[in-house]
Amino acid sequence: MARRKKVYEGKAKILYEGPEPGTLVQYFKDDATAFNAEKRDVIEGKGVLNNRLSEFFMAGLGGIGVPTHFIRRINMREQLIRAVEIIPLEVVVRNVAAGSLSKRLGLEEGTSLPRPIVEFYFKDDALGDPLVTEEHIIAFGWAGQQDLDDMVALGLRVNDFMSGLMLGVGIKLVDFKIEIGRIWDGDYMRLIVADEISPDSCRLWDIESGRKLDKDVFRRDLGDLADAYTEVARRLGVMPSNVGHVTKPTLIN
């Protein structure tokens, strides 16, 4: 295959030029990072699992009319996506207190929130992605009021969809992060869900045992990250048959 042009390389994914204008190829790496990339490792099989899981979630969202960048999966690690102009904000939706919300407000992890809470963080690694308010977003021109309303609406729709899906397989969706991009249809601009939705960007707790099935396993050294993601994929029925993070050949009797 001809060498493709790399457009962008992030911590967990690489974007290449796509086959047609307005498209990109998104490649999922096995790299795991946390705490603003201070902690890093390579988790064999993570990229394959996240490619599959993000496909599953994005395609499902498309099926209920939530627009996303996902076009189709190409292979084990790559998917074809629509090129978007990423809004420089992380949209976090929370159902249960955990992580930075627990720390900031002194809420015990696991406390149910009275209603889903939508937060915005400014995407800037040098600043450690600070929490920002709608005032900052509008004053600094990162998004307009209509965009903000649309982002909240998209976040809540994704939350409803993902919460229901997870509940059906015995998992509680504690919180998640999405990124949103702009696309233009002629003169008309709209916002769509972009980046990825995977256990890298969600908190997922087993309802029965409380076991964490997300990136906190890596952040907090709670065990094998690929095992946790495999469990999510298995429960959702999206476990690729010939994948795993098994490094040794296994004998089949």
Residue with tokens 């390579």: 42
Tokens at 233, concatenated:
């994929």
Choose which of 55, 147, 175, 179 interacts with ligand UDP (CB under 6 A).
175
Whole-number minimum distance, CB 92 to ligand UDP, in Å? 5
Whole-number minimum distance, CB 129 to ligand UDP, in Å? 5
Residue 195 as a binder of ligand UDP (CB under 6 A): the answer is no
Choose which of 87, 177, 205, 217 interacts with ligand UDP (CB under 6 A).
177
Residue 151 as a binder of ligand UDP (CB under 6 A): the answer is no
d(CA 151, CA 180): 7
| Region label for 202, one of left (φ > 0), alpha (ψ between -120 and 50) or beta (otherwise) | beta
Comparison of 101 and 162: residue with beta carbon closer to ligand UDP: 101
List the beta bridge partners of residue 26: 15, 79
- Which residue's beta carbon is nearest to the bound ligand UDP? 99
Instruction: With CA atoms as reference, report the closest residue to 215 among 159, 163, 175.
Output: 175
Q: Quote the crossing angle between the two packed helices 46-63 and 145-167, to the nearest 10°.
A: 110
DSSP string for residues in 78-104: EEEEE--EEEEEEEEEEEE--HHHHHH
Whole-number minimum distance, CB 62 to ligand UDP, in Å? 21
Q: Angle at the Cα of 98 (from 176 to 139), degrees rounded to 5?
A: 60
Whole-number minimum distance, CB 79 to ligand UDP, in Å? 18
Instruction: With CA atoms as reference, report the closest residue to 70 among 133, 126, 23, 17.
Output: 23
Comparison of 101 and 233: residue with beta carbon closer to ligand UDP: 101
Choose which of 28, 70, 176, 205 interacts with ligand UDP (CB under 6 A).
176
Count of residues binding ligand UDP (CB under 6 A)? Answer: 14
Length of the chain measured in residues:
253
Within positions 92 to 131, which residues make up the interface with ligand UDP, using CB under 6 A?
92, 98-101, 129
Residue 23 as a binder of ligand UDP (CB under 6 A): the answer is no
Comparison of 18 and 97: residue with beta carbon closer to ligand UDP: 97
Instruction: With CA atoms as reference, report the closest residue to 9 among 25, 63, 20.
Output: 25
Whole-number minimum distance, CB 89 to ligand UDP, in Å? 11
Whole-number minimum distance, CB 193 to ligand UDP, in Å? 14
Residue 202 as a binder of ligand UDP (CB under 6 A): the answer is yes
Residue 201 as a binder of ligand UDP (CB under 6 A): the answer is yes
List the beta bridge partners of residue 72: 80
At position 103, the amino acid (one-letter code) is K
Please give the residue ranges that form the binding site for ligand UDP (CB under 6 A): 90, 92, 98-101, 129, 175-177, 201-203, 215
